[in-house]
Amino acid sequence: MRKPRGKSRSTESSTEAKKKWSLFRDIPRVIRDWKKQIMQQMVEANLIHRMQHDQYRKKVIRIYDGHRGALLVRTSQLSGHIRYGDRLFRRRQFDLDGAKNILDIGSGAGQVLSHLLKYSSADARITGIDLSRTMLERARKRLQSNRPRLVVSDLSRLPFPRDTFDCVTCCYVLEHLPDARLGLQEIARVLVPRGRVLLFVTEDNFGGAWTSRFWKCCTHNRESLLDLCQSLDLELKKEFWFTGLHRWFRAGGICVELVKAAPQPATATDFDETSATPATFVPPMPESALSNSGLRVLQSEPVEGETSVSTRTRSIVSSN
Ligand SMILES: C[S@@+](CC[C@H](N)C(=O)[O-])C[C@H]1O[C@@H](n2cnc3c(N)ncnc32)[C@H](O)[C@@H]1O
């Protein structure tokens, strides 16, 4: 059978021409992306990758203990983060229904804790952790509630046994770790199977680069971060945008709900008495200091030593 030579040659040449044209067409986009990346790299802080982890951790504590930390609530109000966060819980886009043991990581001035207090069921146990004791003290004062148990601790070495919490919130904290895997592994470890995570992370765009400069954190690429979550059995359930404008400008960072897939086999990073960070409790406020606030104290947490995260944490608390 004779081949339709002429026809195939013309088809080949037209596909080649199309290829060349599409390459040519891509040039402005490539230049634009390249310019963006250079601008981003010029703005983005890379302190986190230039320092030893311990040194960097001390730097983070100094930043949040200082005036920037004192302004955190104001900046969260200005960015709309508190208002949009409240709406997210109120509309049950992230549903706290059924959550009985909730961990808020990097509680800061209690921005997320305030939503948890408002929208979780009254019998839910709420724990907030932060690297900065000063921030937790600010949170306690701002919330005017002794209900959440506040623990000074590090996301990369959480002082809780595996499968402890059915819900974890971790908002704008992961970017303070030089290796996000450390934090996500810890979240996956302390979460029960099918437990849910609300994760907000600074994204690797121009706005994110400025955020990283101000807070000396890093930024994350959406696809790579979600791949990393997936590899740790934290499956993507939902992606959030605070508003349509946020989506349009890709602002507000990577905001997702993740679900822990299934029971994980024991790993080297499993709970270990010797490697976990020392955890200290931030004591509740005296009832007399709360009475003026007009807020109802839903449930007072016992003071240090009476209740602890685990037997091990108790031993750490009493040893401090
Ligand atoms: C930008 S604030 C976020 C506060 C709050 N989660 C929110 O969404 O508004 C980051 C907080 O994470 C804390 N943080 C930073 N690195 C941490 C770590 N490795 N472990 C625990 N907390 C950390 C900081 O001290 C600070 O209070």
Pocket (CB within 6 angstroms of ligand 1): 60, 64, 76, 81, 105-108, 111-112, 129-132, 135, 154-156, 171-173, 176-177, 215
Q: Which atom of ligand 1 is nearest the CA belonging to 104?
A: 6
pLDDT tens for each residue of the chain, 320 residues long: 455 555 566 677 777 877 777 777 788 777 777 766 776 666 677 778 778 888 999 999 999 999 999 999 888 888 888 999 999 999 999 999 999 999 999 999 999 999 999 999 999 999 999 999 999 999 999 999 999 999 999 999 999 999 999 999 999 999 999 999 999 999 999 999 999 999 999 999 888 988 988 888 999 999 999 999 999 999 999 999 999 999 998 899 999 999 999 775 666 555 555 556 667 777 777 766 654 433 222 233 332 333 344 433 333 333 32
How would you classify residue 305: left for phi > 0, otherwise alpha for psi between -120 and 50, otherwise beta?
left
- Topology of the domain covering 47-319: Rossmann fold (3.40.50)
**Of residues 81, 119, 116, 56, the one with CA closest to residue 252:** 81
Q: Please report which helix (H) or strand (E) contains residue 20, including its range.
A: helix 5-43
**Of residues 167, 168, 137, the one with CA closest to residue 152:** 137
Q: Which atom of ligand 1 is nearest the CA belonging to 61?
A: 25
Domain segments of the chain as ranges? 47-319
Q: Which atom of ligand 1 is nearest the CA belonging to 215?
A: 1
